[in-house]
């Protein structure tokens, strides 16, 4: 098959929010929007894989990225079709081989700390030593500009809250921005789009509003993205994995503030310090 092959797929994205009535502290009735939360069960060749809770805005990309990040399907050309049916809340992925060995391939499932509960299959954990990412240099000033540019996104969060946002970025420009009820869903949907459009992660930055757990580090490493930037905090296991897989890791990133937990040598500090500002090394 040609490199521009695309499986047959539906375009069944739904609205991320719905209008409801709430009573405020002054007893006024107000029409507001809340985030949708829908169950979506992924099937491969009629075998049930997992049920995800999602906004449902990009279900085909979510399924595609989930299968890739879990290592269940290696090549896009293996997939014949991706069909979403919201009447039964399912997405049916059909392969050309119509395999029946999915139970053996799945192995152990690890429930992660992702919002909405994520899963990582045991076979992924067994191959982490193979993931070594090539570093890139990033300017401090470019990080500041990127964070500023990201402020125009987060539409669902601004309207309804209750969601996380993730973005694939190049230099100072967000390329893909996706929101979902769980950050793991948002990153999987971006992974699916990258796979479908043959977008390389090699010179990219990944941004998330969510915390940097082991699951997030693994997913970004599988996408071969060298820099991970978060508005939230990190876990120790996430930090350990970032170190092992050579990912530059920045957290608490907002406005003109960030903390580098791994890969400080890859950040070029090109912004002048404010007058009378002294750099203090507080680690004794």
User: What is the SS3 string spanning 181-231?
Assistant: CCHHHHHHHHHHHHHHHCCCCCCCEEEECCCECHHHHHHHHHCCCCEEEEC
Q: Kindly tell me the burial class for residue 182, based on how many C-beta atoms sit within 10 Å of its own C-beta (0-12, 13-18, 19 or more).
A: buried
How would residue 109 be classed by pLDDT, with cut points 50, 70 and 90? low
Contact 63, 42 (CB under 8 A): yes
Mean pLDDT of 30-37: 95
Closest CA to 10 of 88, 97, 91, 79: 91
Q: Mean pLDDT, the chain, as a whole number?
A: 89
Q: What is the pLDDT of residues 89-105, one digit of tens each?
A: 999 999 999 877 776 76
pLDDT of residue 73: 92
pLDDT of residue 80: 97
Q: What is the pLDDT of residues 190-220, one digit of tens each?
A: 999 999 999 999 999 999 999 999 989 999 9
d(CA 211, CA 70): 20
**Structure-model confidence comparison of residues 113 and 119, the more confident one:** 119
How would residue 275 be classed by pLDDT, with cut points 50, 70 and 90? confident
pLDDT of residue 124: 61
pLDDT of residue 284: 54
pLDDT of residue 102: 75
∠73-63-247 over CA atoms, to 5°?
Answer: 70
Backbone φ and ψ of 244, nearest 5°: -65, -35
**What percent of the chain has a predicted confidence (pLDDT) above 90?**
75
Q: What is the pLDDT of residues 114-138, one digit of tens each?
A: 554 455 545 565 666 677 899 999 9
Q: CATH for 138-268?
A: 3.40.140.10
Give the bridge partners for 207, in sequence order. 167, 229
Token pair 């429930």 in the structure block, residue = 111
Q: What is the pLDDT of residues 123-178, one digit of tens each?
A: 565 666 677 899 999 999 999 999 999 999 989 998 898 899 999 999 999 999 99
CATH 3.10.20.10 residue window(s) in the chain: 8-21+28-128
Token pair 């990225």 in the structure block, residue = 65
How would residue 259 be classed by pLDDT, with cut points 50, 70 and 90? very high
pLDDT of residue 162: 87
- Which of left, alpha, beta for 23 (phi over 0: left; psi -120 to 50: alpha)? beta
pLDDT of residue 111: 44
d(CA 233, CA 91): 33
Closest CA to 187 of 114, 269, 280, 262: 114
pLDDT of residue 119: 54
CATH 3.40.140.10 residue window(s) in the chain: 138-268
pLDDT of residue 132: 81
pLDDT of residue 173: 97
pLDDT of residue 167: 97
CA-to-CA separations, 269 to 84, 90, 131, 171, 247, in angstroms, rounded:
47, 48, 28, 15, 18
For residue 264, what is the enclosing H or E element?
none
pLDDT of residue 93: 97
pLDDT of residue 117: 46
Mean pLDDT of 227-232: 96
8-21+28-128: CATH topology? Ubiquitin-like (UB roll) (3.10.20)
Give the bridge partners for 168, in sequence order. 176, 206
Residue 162: helix, strand or coil by DSSP? coil
pLDDT of residue 198: 95
């Amino acid at each position: 098959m040609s490199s521009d092959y695309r499986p047959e797929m539906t375009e069944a994205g739904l609205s991320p929010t719905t209008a409801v009535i709430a009573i405020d502290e002054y007893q006024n009735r107000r029409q507001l929007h809340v985030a949708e939360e829908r169950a979506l069960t992924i099937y491969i060749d009629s075998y049930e894989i997992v049920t995800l809770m999602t906004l449902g805005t990009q279900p085909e990309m979510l399924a595609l990225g989930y299968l890739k990040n879990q290592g269940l399907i290696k090549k896009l050309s293996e997939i014949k079709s991706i069909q979403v049916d919201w009447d039964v809340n399912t997405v049916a992925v059909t392969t050309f081989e119509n395999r029946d060995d999915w139970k053996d391939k799945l192995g152990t499932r690890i429930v992660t700390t992702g919002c909405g509960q994520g899963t990582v299959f045991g076979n992924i954990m067994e191959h982490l030593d193979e993931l070594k990412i090539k570093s890139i240099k990033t300017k401090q000033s470019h990080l500041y500009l990127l964070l500023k540019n990201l402020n125009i996104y987060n539409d669902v969060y601004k309207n309804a809250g209750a969601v996380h946002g993730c973005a694939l970025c190049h230099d100072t420009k967000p390329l893909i921005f996706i929101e979902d009820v769980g950050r793991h869903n948002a990153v999987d949907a971006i992974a699916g789009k990258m796979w479908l459009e043959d977008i390389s992660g090699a010179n990219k930055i990944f941004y998330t509003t969510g915390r940097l757990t082991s699951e997030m580090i693994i997913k970004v490493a599988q996408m071969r993205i060298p820099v991970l930037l978060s508005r939230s905090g990190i876990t120790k296991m996430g930090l350990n994995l970032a170190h092992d897989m050579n990912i530059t890791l920045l957290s608490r990133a907002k406005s003109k503030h960030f903390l580098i937990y791994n890969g400080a040598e890859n950040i070029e500090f090109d912004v002048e310090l404010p007058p009378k500002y002294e750099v203090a090394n507080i680690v004794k």
